[in-house]
Every structure is written in C-alpha cells, then in structure tokens.
Amino acid sequence: MLHRNSSLSPLLAPRSIALIGASENVARIGGRPLRYLREAGFKGAVYPVNPNRETVQGFKSYASVGVLPETPDVAILAVPSSGTIQALRECAERHVKAAIIFSAGFAETGDEGRAMQDEIAGIARESGMRVLGPNCLGVFNAATGYYGTFSAILDTEFVKPGPVAIISQSGAYGSHIAHLARQRGLGISHWITTGNECDIDVAEALQWVVGQPDTNVVIAYAEGIRNRDVFLEALDTARAKEKAIVFMKVGRSEVGAHAVSSHTAALAGSDAVFDAVFRQYGVYRARTTAEQLDVAYACSRGIYPAGDRLGIFTLSGGFGIQMADDAALAGLDVSPMPDAAQEELKAMLPYASPRNPVDATAQALTDLPLMTSYIRAMLEKGGYDMFAGIFGSGPASPTFAVSLRQALEGATAGQGGRILSLTMSASSEIVRSYEEKGFLVFEDGSALVNALGALAHFRKSFDAVKRATETLEEAPRLSLDGDTFSEYGAKSVLAKAGIAFPREALVRPDEDAGAAAATIGFPVVLKISSPDIAHKTEIGGVIVGVKDEDEARHAARTILDRVREKRPDALIEGLIVSPMITGGVETIAGVVRDPVFGPMVMFGLGGVFVEVLKDVTFRVAPFDRTEAHRMIREIRGFAMLEGVRGAPPADIDALAEMLSTLSRFAAANADMIESIDLNPVLVLPEGKGVALLDALLVLRKD
C-alpha cells in the first residue's frame, strides 16, 4: 500500500477523472460535476462513463471503467446506492487509485446501509483504493479547475483559488461556508467533504492539506474524529508549519451530542476533551460560523503579529471605547502611547485624545494629510503590533474612499511587520481596494478585534512549538499481577513510573501497627488497603490524627473490625500507615480514557471547587512540563496556587512535573488503563513538592 499521506494526491490533485453515471442533464448529480469541470477548464483527462450514450456534454462517453483508455486517478461515482458496490468493484479491478461516492443511503439509514458501507470499506482496504464518502459532496481544487462535486453553490459562480482550505464532514456545512468565503472575497485552495467517512476522514484530509504549500489556513468542520493519531499528527504538522486551523466542532451541548450520535457514525467523545485538545494543539475553536469565517479571513495572509499590543485609531470616542472593551475580552493589550508621543499628537490636534484608543475626532477627516502624519506618528511611536482604524461608512463614498485609502497607505507605508486592519461599512469593491493595499477589512469592530486576538493566539502557539526543548522520555510499561489494585498496589505501580508518594508502611493484619507507625513518625493516618474497597471512608476504613503507638494499635483494630463486619468478602492486604500531612492547596489529578483521544490527564482544584464549579481541565497524554504549566494555569481558581489569604505560593513546578510524569505513564500504558484517580493531591509551599495522599488505579476490562 502507498504511504497514507501521499495516497490522497490522486483524489485531491488528479490528472485524470472518470465520472461514473455521467449525465447530459446539468441539474443532475451525474451532470453537474461534468458541467463544472468543463466550464472551469480542468486541464487533465475527463472520462464520462455512461453505456447509453456516445457523448455526454460534449465529452466522449465510455461504456464502463474497464474500457477507459487509461486508468484514471480518481473515479467519481454518481450512481444510486444500489449500484455503488458493483461500480466500486469495477474501479478496484481497473486499479483506480481513488473514488468519490456521492450517494446517500448507507450507514446513516440503518443496519442494511451500514452493511453496504462496511463492504465498501472492505473493497478499499483490500484494493488499496482510497474512498471518499459515501454520502459526501466531493472535493474541489479551484486552482486546477478540478470540481469533483455536485454542490449547488457552484451553479452561479466558481470560487477563486487562494490560501484557505475547507474540510468538512458535512457537505451542507462545507458548501455553506465556501459560499460565505467566496462572498467575503476569500480564495480557496482545496475543498473536501468527507460524509460518512468509510475510509478517508477529516483527520486524514487535514493531514494532507496542511502539507500543501498553497494553504495558509484550514476551515474545518467535524462532529467527531475517527483517527486520533492521524488527527493529532496533522495538528502537530500544522503548528510546525504555521498553518492556522479554525475548527467548528459541533455537539458541545447535551442535545447536540445526542444529535451527533444519531447523525454520524463517528464516536463523539467528550466535548470537554475536544476543547482541551484544541487548546493543547493551538487550534482555534470557533463558536459561530461567522466567527470561523472572520478568523480564517484574518489568517489567510499567513502573517501573525509579533506580540499582542493593539493600537486603536478612531474618529469617534464611542467606537474606540467599544473596541478597547472588545480588546480586553480578546486578551489584547491596549497600552497607552508613550507620554512624549501623546504630547506630540496633542500639538497636531489639540482636541484629540491621543492615549489609546487614539481618538482624532471627526476633525481629522477634514485634513487628510494631517491624518496621515498623525497615524504615522502613532505607529512609529506607539510600538503596536497591530493597528486597527475605525472608519464607519466614511469610505462608502467611492471618491472619498480613494483619497482616504491613499492617506492610510501613506500613513502605514513601511509598517509591513504590523497587522494593519480597518473597520468600514462599504461596498465589496471598495473593501477589496483596501485589502489589495494590505489592510484586513471588517464591517464589525468586535469581529475584527476577536480575529486579531486569534492572530495573537496563533503566534503564541506557533512560537511555543519552536521554543520547546524538552523531549518526552518513554515511561515504563505496567507489569500486571491482577486486574484490580489496592491503594498500596496502585501507589507501588505509579511510584515505579516516577510518581513520588509520601513514605508509608503496609502493615499486615497480624503485624504491629504501633511499631510501624513509630518508624513513619507521629501523627499518622491509618487506612485499610484492599483491592476490593475503593471508597474507604464510607465504611470507616480511615482514621486520621493518630498520635502514638497505643493509639495506632487501637486504630488498627478498630478499622479491621469495621471492615470485617461491613465487607466480609473483601481481601484485606493490611493497613497503610502514612504520615499525617496537612496544609498546602488541595487539588485532584487523574487519568480518564476518552473514546476518541484515549488517555487524558485531568487536573483541578479539590473540594468544593471541583464539586460545585466543575473547575477541571484536560490534556491528551503525553505532554511535557511546559504544557503542564499551561494546563494548571487554565483553572479558574488558579490564584489559589499562587497564594491567597496570606498563604505562601504553592509548588507549581513540582505539580507540573508530576502531571507530565503521570501523562507519560498513561500514554505508555494506554491499552491497559481505564482510569487513575489521585485525590487529594496537596500542593505544598514552593520547594516542598506535592503530597499525593491517595491513589486509585483501574484497568480496562476489554
């Protein structure tokens, strides 16, 4: 079989295309792609397959794939579901490299359809032929005129080639956003809809697309992800190559997730986990379609700001204030102009307010050369990474648009390293004229600032990869005696992986708990240790604050009596004697297995924080300490770890180290681990490390 990545090229950049079920009628699924290929002037060979005709839409028609003069790179199947398997087999026999299946009527319709889809997947696997769909809208590549799709949005107009790739599980969503992108004047490189994903999924399409030099940004839509490894690899590649991914992942809500599970065959996974993966890999998760388009538009030039300082220029105070508010929300820095520069601007326009937002008042519009000098001074002295100018409907007048554009060009000449952006309410023709001069143009100021925040976000994410120096060592594999672990057993296993627990002793039921406690040092805690008892406190299996040997002996007897009474079935390993550690900040950590992403490390503040506020965060395992630091800082109650109410700062470094070690262990044993709970994890004052007071390790059943 071909290498997976390169194997998508016949599908996405074919030299020859067969259209099976080609139709003369351009309104039909079998006619539309032929019309598009013809009108867009596709340079390669096009072979309609239709046994009933001599020609189709002016192309010579063939009776079957078998009789084509050459083996096509891709075959487009515009046949009903009932004829699909037969047609696909013929393609496989002819060694066609890739096939696109338009027809619906497969897994989405029930068991019978699912069986047919499985058969298609089997043909793909056995023949090495790659299959897109079924139930998809196909693909296109605007630059080569390759329109392997029947999407109706191309009825009126083709798209222009450009830096934006679109990958969508949903054909309708893909069509809609391509339509919006075209309206916005954005050029599209590749457009891929994956439908039922019996072979090629969004992850693999993404991986291919981020390797294409003509793509700067990817607009992606998915309801779930099938191939976790390829997906994460694609995200990694994108980040390393500085390609922005702007993702619409639906199924955030309970009702949405339920609808996903009935709509798609992909496992949805937990949405909180998706969210974490996007953060971890620097993917921008769009909340709305409008936002997705806005952010993709801002990224389309592949230029990112060096930092997050934003200079706002306005002719009306109100708009400037509104934009400053939005900037705070987007995490941008609207720091004031230096005092001396403010004085300089004051001298040019006495009634202006030159702090930042720099409000030149409407007066500036009456003297454009003055406005040019004013903005130039603002840019030269302000040191902003991004410039946003607010112009309203001023540029809407075609005559004024030209002089204003020249004034802005003059003001910003030689400021190429900066992101230059404007808001205006004008015709698309006028907007394009500003865009051609290097300005990002938005109608809405809030949308602009949000997109600038996204640019700063991508810059940080790209840079973080460049700076990363840590290599992740592989963790030891679990060696298993049984399938459940007592607390003591779990701790022993994790300790071998490098996770440090307080020194403690396991005392068998017939041994002297008093003597053992003395070696640990008082006060101590006594806990039952049994692989059968997960919730020790509930049956009185824990006694804290034990002060001397006698108390320890008495406590041991008490616990054993209680356990024997309440859980006579439980295998008793003995009692754990551990030092009584208090203080620090109570947190929790653990590992959960996500059906899509496998082992995810969870972290949160303990007690009411997790119970009331669900203040937890996740990361795909494994990850390094730097990523662990980012993870820890995502918690809403993070200030607790920095020290509140006079408490000293907690040992965040030690916590990060522990979380990274835990993640490496979870990754190395992903096939075996169901879950790990470390609760509580006391984060002690700086330099004193973390104290893990309890551990629960559950193995996978399957």
Shortest distance, CB of residue 55 to its own copies, whole angstroms? Answer: 28
How far is it, in rounded angstroms, from Cα 21 to Cα 88? 12
Does 426 interact with its own copies (rule: CB under 8 A)?
no
One-letter amino acid for residue 132 of the chain: L
Which of 317, 482 has the CB closer to its own copies?
317
Q: Least Å distance between CB 412 and its own copies?
A: 23
Q: Which of residues 315-374 bind its own copies (CB under 8 A)?
A: 315-322, 324-329, 334, 350-351, 353, 355-357, 359, 361-362
Q: How far is the CB of 475 from its own copies (least distance, A)?
A: 33
Structure tokens at 549: 């040997």
Cβ closer to its own copies: 258 or 466? Answer: 258
Residue 202 interacting with its own copies (CB under 8 A): no
Compute the least distance from the CB of residue 354 to its own copies, in Å. 10
| Contact code string over 247-276 relative to its own copies, x by CB under 8 A | -x-xxxxxxx-xxx-xxx------------
Counting contacts by CB under 8 A, is residue 179 touching its own copies? yes
Integer Cα distance of 104 and 195 in angstroms: 9
Contact 61, 55 (CB under 8 A): yes
- Which stretches within 46-110 are classed as H helix? 81-93
CA distance 101 to 123: 13
Q: Which of residues 97-116 bind its own copies (CB under 8 A)?
A: 104-105, 108-109
Any contact of residue 688 with its own copies (CB under 8 A)?
A: no
Binding mask 378-397 for its own copies (x = CB under 8 A): --------------xx----
> Least distance (Å) from its own copies to the CB of residue 609?
8
Q: Kindly state whether residue 290 participates in binding its own copies, applying the rule CB under 8 A.
A: yes
Name 531's bridge partners.
Answer: none
Phi, psi of 23 (to 5 degrees): -125, 150
Task: Note whether 5 binds its own copies by CB under 8 A.
Answer: no
C-alpha–C-alpha distance, residues 203 and 247, integer Å:
12
Residues 298-317 that bind its own copies (CB under 8 A): 315-317
Please pick, from the candidates 20, 87, 100, 180, the single residue that binds its own copies as defined by CB under 8 A: 180
Helix (H, G, I), strand (E, B) or coil at 571: coil
Residue 294 sits in the site that holds its own copies (CB under 8 A): no
**Nearest-approach distance from CB 458 to its own copies, in angstroms:** 22
Q: Is 89 in the site for its own copies (CB under 8 A)?
A: no
For residue 204, state whether it binds its own copies (rule: CB under 8 A): no
Q: Evaluate the CA torsion angle 148, 153, 156, 158 in order and state its sign.
A: negative
Which burial class, exposed, middle or buried, applies to 141 when counting CB atoms under 10 A from its CB (0-12, 13-18, 19+)? buried
CA distance 243 to 237: 8
Site string for its own copies, 535-554 (x = CB under 8 A): --------------------
Question: Does residue 210 belong to the site contacting its own copies (CB under 8 A)?
Answer: no
Chain centre to alpha carbon of residue 306: 22
- In the list 289, 484, 492, 675, the residue contacting its own copies (rule: CB under 8 A) is 289
Three-state SS for 651-679 is CHHHHHHHHHHHHHHHHHCCCCEEEEEEE
The site that binds its own copies (CB under 8 A) totals a number of residues, namely: 77
User: Looking at 37, 337, 447, 556, which residue binds its own copies (CB under 8 A)?
Assistant: 447
Crossing angle of the two packed helices 171-183 and 289-299, in degrees rounded to 10:
50
Nearer to its own copies, 354 or 574 (CB): 354
Burial class (CB in 10 A: 0-12, 13-18, 19+), 436: exposed
**The length of the chain, given as a count of residues:** 702
> Stretches 227-235, 286-294, 509-517, 669-677: which one binds its own copies (CB under 8 A)?
286-294
Other C-beta atoms lying within 10 Å of the C-beta of residue 159: 22
- Which of these ranges, 6-14, 125-133, 445-453, 494-502, lies near its own copies under the rule CB under 8 A? 445-453
Per-residue contact track with its own copies, 586 to 625, x per CB under 8 A?
----------------------x--xxx------------
Closest CA to 629 of 664, 601, 650, 653: 653
Nearer to its own copies, 520 or 585 (CB): 585
| Cβ distance to its own copies smaller for residue 294 or 551 | 294
Q: Which of residues 665-684 bind its own copies (CB under 8 A)?
A: none
Instruction: Give, in order, the Cα–Cα distances in Å from 95 to each of 84, 88, 90, 221.
Output: 16, 10, 9, 31
Nearer to its own copies, 357 or 622 (CB): 357
Q: Which helix (H) or strand (E) holds 165?
A: strand 164-168
Six-digit token pair at 260? 């996903």
HEC assignment per residue over 354-386: CCCCEECCHHHHHCHHHHHHHHHHHHHHHCCCE
Indicate which single residue of 36, 59, 140, 221 sits in contact with its own copies (rule: CB under 8 A): 221
Q: Nearest to residue 141, comparing CAs of 88, 232, 195, 73?
A: 73
Indicate which single residue of 62, 150, 173, 665 sits in contact with its own copies (rule: CB under 8 A).
173
